[in-house]
């Protein structure tokens, strides 16, 4: 056991010595390509009655939203993460509204100045979220795995979920207490059961969890505190993220490319803080709910 530990320590030391020589260059830059994939269970959102052909068609239309390619450009202190413009395509048909609920543009991070900038579109309005870097209390697990040619280490953290994060929407669980309440009210609403069945508020059926656990796999062979999207804070480049139903996996890394790119801060949109933006999202969602209920005659009375 001690021998194995010693061998691992020596191996890690060699990795660090080799990679530190690379990142010691004043003009060091790297580029990483990530594939992001989000899974959706249609059965949890009223899809149980749909035919397999209909489900397949819906998933095909949602593919441009659920499967994306991003490029992370990074140096020792800064990074820029954005969708691959060559592959970017707009959401189609009835999926536009969902895309509008959280269409994320470029994300800029600076670990030296603790700066975080995110270009965010929300229902046709452009925002620039200007805040400090999100804090993650990463827990190292000691687990390792190989991703391509890189030895990666596992870390986990608990993340606060954004109000507009539709990728983590889920059908509400009907726990035993809620069931008992419904049974207690059964006698009172039985005479109005037809009207109750006619009105089904979708906002009553779904929820976004306040927190989820995030798993990251990072490599110390590239000792920069960078990663896809908002993720950072580990002693090496994050090559894989598992967050809710979304997996982000690095598929290609280029260190010191001949054609270096300037890492520019995003500047478009109304500047807001992270909390202010969350309040805007929550207010809009409440407006949508009120409009929906008004169109359905005010719902249950």
Is residue 106 domain-resident?
A: yes
pLDDT in the model for residue 236: 98
Q: What total of structural domains would you count in the chain?
A: 1
pLDDT in the model for residue 1: 53
Name the CA dihedral angle for 242, 248, 249, 253, rounded to a multiple of 10 degrees. -130
Is residue 130 domain-resident?
A: yes
Is residue 34 domain-resident?
A: yes
Is residue 211 domain-resident?
A: yes
Is residue 139 domain-resident?
A: yes
pLDDT in the model for residue 85: 77
pLDDT in the model for residue 222: 97
Is residue 50 domain-resident?
A: yes
Against a cut of 0.85, is the pTM above it? no
pLDDT in the model for residue 204: 63
Full residue range of the structural domain in which residue 231 is found: 28-179+194-295
79 contact partners, CB below 8 Å, separation of at least 6: 72, 73, 108, 109, 224, 226, 227, 232, 263
Is residue 218 domain-resident?
A: yes
Name the CA dihedral angle for 232, 235, 237, 238, rounded to a multiple of 10 degrees. -60
Spans of the chain below 70 pLDDT: 1-26, 41-64, 87-103, 163-209, 296-301
Q: Which residues pair with 248 in a beta bridge?
A: 36, 241
| Whole-angstrom distance, CA of residue 188 vs CA of residue 6 | 71
132 contact partners, CB below 8 Å, separation of at least 6: 114, 115, 116
Is residue 9 domain-resident?
A: no
């Amino acid at each position: 056991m001690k021998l194995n530990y010693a061998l691992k320590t020596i191996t890690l030391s060699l990795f660090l010595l080799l990679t530190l020589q690379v990142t010691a260059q004043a003009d060091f830059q790297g580029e990483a390509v990530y594939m992001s994939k989000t899974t959706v269970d249609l059965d949890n959102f009223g899809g149980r009655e749909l035919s397999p052909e209909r489900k397949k068609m819906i998933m095909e239309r949602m593919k441009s939203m659920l499967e994306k390619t991003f490029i992370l450009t990074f140096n020792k202190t800064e990074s820029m993460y954005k969708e691959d413009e060559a592959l970017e395509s707009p959401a189609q048909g009835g999926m536009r509204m969902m895309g509008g609920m959280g269409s994320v543009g470029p994300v800029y991070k600076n670990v030296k100045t603790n700066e975080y900038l995110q270009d965010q579109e929300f229902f046709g309005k452009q925002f620039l979220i200007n805040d400090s870097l999100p804090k993650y209390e990463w827990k190292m697990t000691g687990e390792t795995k190989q991703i391509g040619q890189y030895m990666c280490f596992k870390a986990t953290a608990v993340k606060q979920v954004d109000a507009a994060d539709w990728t983590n929407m889920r059908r509400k669980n009907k726990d035993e207490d809620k069931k008992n309440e419904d049974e207690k009210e059964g006698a009172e609403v039985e005479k109005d059961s037809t009207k109750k069945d006619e009105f089904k508020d979708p906002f009553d059926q779904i929820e976004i969890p306040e927190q989820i656990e995030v798993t990251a796999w990072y490599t110390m062979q590239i000792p920069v505190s960078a990663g896809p999207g908002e993720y950072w804070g580990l002693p090496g480049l994050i090559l894989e993220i598992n967050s809710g139903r979304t997996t982000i996996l690095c598929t290609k890394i280029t260190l010191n490319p001949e054609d270096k790119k300037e890492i520019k801060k995003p500047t478009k949109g109304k500047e807001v803080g992270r909390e202010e933006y969350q309040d805007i999202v929550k207010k809009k969602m409440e407006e949508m709910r009120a409009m929906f209920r008004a169109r359905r005659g005010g719902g249950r009375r």
